[in-house]
Amino acid sequence: MRSLVALLLVTSFAVAADKPAVFAPYTKPTCIAHRGASADAPEHTLAAYELALKHGAEFVEPDLQMTKDGVLVCLHDTTLDRTTNVKEVFPDRAKEVSGKKTWPVAEFTLKEIQTLDAGAWKGKEFAGQKVPTFQEMIDTVKGKAGIIPETKAPEVYGKLGLNMEKELMAVLKANKLDTPGADPKTPVVIQSFSADSLKALRKDHACKLPLVYLFSVDQSADKLKGIKEFAEGIAPNKAVVLKRPGIVTDAHDLGLSVTVWTCRSGSTGEFKDVKAEMTHLLKELKVDAVFTDNPDQFPK
Ligand code: G3P
Ligand code: CA
């Protein structure tokens, strides 16, 4: 009997040792400032990134787009119209897409984009904020928090002869952030909705950094095994996890981290506020990290 108990203990220890308790870059339940502290400052501006640091975010998120001259800039949309004054500055440069005027990032050089105001739409006090380059974002955050860049619409840029993954790795390398643990104060994780983008990072660009795959539709345990082939973590929409909390265990059993998006004030469904929502996701459903527009509300 005693030897049976000993065997069970050894076996369970071996299983536990096999399974990373926490995804290496996350040292504890982790707060990721989504587009910076974007509830209180204009998303993807240095003001939003600085506020995220002030609010104690462990990671700051830049979404990445590319300019006509191949520079990585921080912006969520593939177009400039929602978050800048491009319509006023370049009224004649619109493209017509499905009968609607739009101003694609890829049609503008960095110099042109730097003339735009990216803050006034959020409030007069933010007038003068610019669309930052990825380098400017790194300069603001390096040494103070982790960075979790997202390759946005890499296929759009690929068709234009621009290689987002190559440029991303080049910028990270220039900043000595291209290998895991290179700067303990600035862990780097790369995320994408594009499995091809993550695979290209790994295969074509020898990327050793942790990769996280974003999705909005539930994935079976079998599907997660496929994701495990090219990523270290998953990042489902929070609705997926709230509907089927078992996906967290399924992922953890495979050694995949779980990050959810996006917790924001004013959009918390059954929860009384964003702090209650994040508390439920982290403490009860055991996700490892959350993207939030409100890093100041992250439960400590
Ligand atoms: O990257 C996580 C989350 O930001 C995905 O949604 O559309 O805000 O980039 P989106
Ligand atoms: Ca994102």
**What is the DSSP code string of 114-140?**
TTS-SSTTT-GGGTT----BHHHHHHH
Distance from C-alpha of 300 to C-alpha of 289, rounded to nearest angstrom: 12
Q: How far is the CA of 45 from the centre of ligand 2 (A)?
A: 14
Q: What is the pLDDT of residue 212?
A: 98
Distance (angstroms) between ligand 2 centre and the Cα of 281 equals 19
Which atom of ligand 1 lies nearest, measured to the CA of 150? 1
CB-based pocket (< 6 A), ligand 1: 34, 63, 76, 150, 191, 214, 235, 261-262, 291
Q: How many CA atoms lie within 13 A of 62 on its CB side?
A: 29
Report d(CA 39, CA 140) in Å as an integer.
19
Task: Give the helix/strand (H/E) hosting 30.
Answer: strand 30-33
Residues β-bridged to residue 66: 72
Q: How far apart are CA 103 and CA 91, in angstroms?
A: 9
Ligand 1 center to residue 4 CA distance, Å?
49
283: nearest Cα among 24, 28, 12, 34? 28
**Ligand nearest 32 Cα, by number?**
1
The ligand 1 atom at the shortest distance from the C-alpha of residue 76 is 9
pLDDT attached to residue 24: 84
Distance between CA 158 and CA 154 in Å, rounded?
Answer: 6
- Ligand whose nearest atom lies closest to the CA of 259: 1
* Residue of minimum CA distance from atom 10 in ligand 1: 76
For 149-195, what is each residue's pLDDT tens digit? 999 999 999 999 999 999 999 999 999 999 999 999 999 999 999 99
With residues binned 3-state (H G I as helix, E B as strand, rest as coil), the percentages for the chain, rounded to 5, are 40, 15, 45
CA distance 55 to 49: 10
CA distances from 240 to 22, 100, 149, 162, 181 (A): 21, 32, 22, 33, 31
Q: What pTM does this model have?
A: 0.93
The residues whose Cβ lies within 5 A of ligand 2, an ion, are: 63, 150
| Residue 60 pLDDT | 98
Q: What residues act catalytically?
A: 34, 76
- Per DSSP, 237 falls in state B
Residue to mutate, 65, 147, 150, ligand 1, most ligand atoms under 8 Å from C-beta: 150
pLDDT bucket at 22, cuts 50 / 70 / 90: low
Pocket test for ligand 1, best of 261, 287, 290 (most atoms within 8 A of CB): 261
Q: pLDDT-based confidence at 27, cuts 50/70/90? A: confident
The model's confidence at residue 23, banded by pLDDT at 50, 70 and 90, is: confident
